Amino acid sequence: MPLLEQVLENNPDTVKIVLKNMPLNFHKMAAPAALAALAAKEQGKFWEFHDELFALPKLSQEAIDTIAVNLKLDTDKFKKDVASQKLAQKLNKDLRDAREAGVTGTPTIFINGIKLKTRTLPAIQKLIDAQLADKKKG
């Protein structure tokens, strides 16, 4: 997401991005893609994999497998990790967290637990600055 990249650029020492997966039920490839990205994370390539997924014109298992090869992942490990109970549990935890936070769609952005209503760079920066000011006070 170029917007979040700008946020990181503007706040290199104060912002950390945490992505939680929320594959939507109506999208049959969403869960396989989320598990694939988590498997790529096991090999230190989550963000690269994530970015390649979102650049795809059409999501398919073949495209997911091609990304794994192009990123030079250990494909045997990748396939085992995609099918692992560990990553299935991680994905289920992300889904529970989303439900508990009241997330109903993607993408949803929170800053220190506050749901962002306007997804623009000025709105995000304003909330970051307010949170940092509160932290200095407190």
* N residues, the chain: 138
Global model pTM greater than 0.95:
no
Q: Mean per-residue pLDDT for 70-82?
A: 98
CA dist 53 and 117 (Å) reads 26
The pLDDT of residue 1 is: 57
Q: Scanning the structure block, which residue is given the tokens 């099918």?
A: 83
Rg of the chain taking only CA atoms, in angstroms:
17
Averaged pLDDT, 50-67: 96
Confidence of residue 71 (pLDDT cuts 50, 70, 90): very high
For residue 138, what pLDDT band results from cuts at 50, 70 and 90? low
**CA distances (Å), origin 68, targets 40, 45, 79:** 8, 9, 10
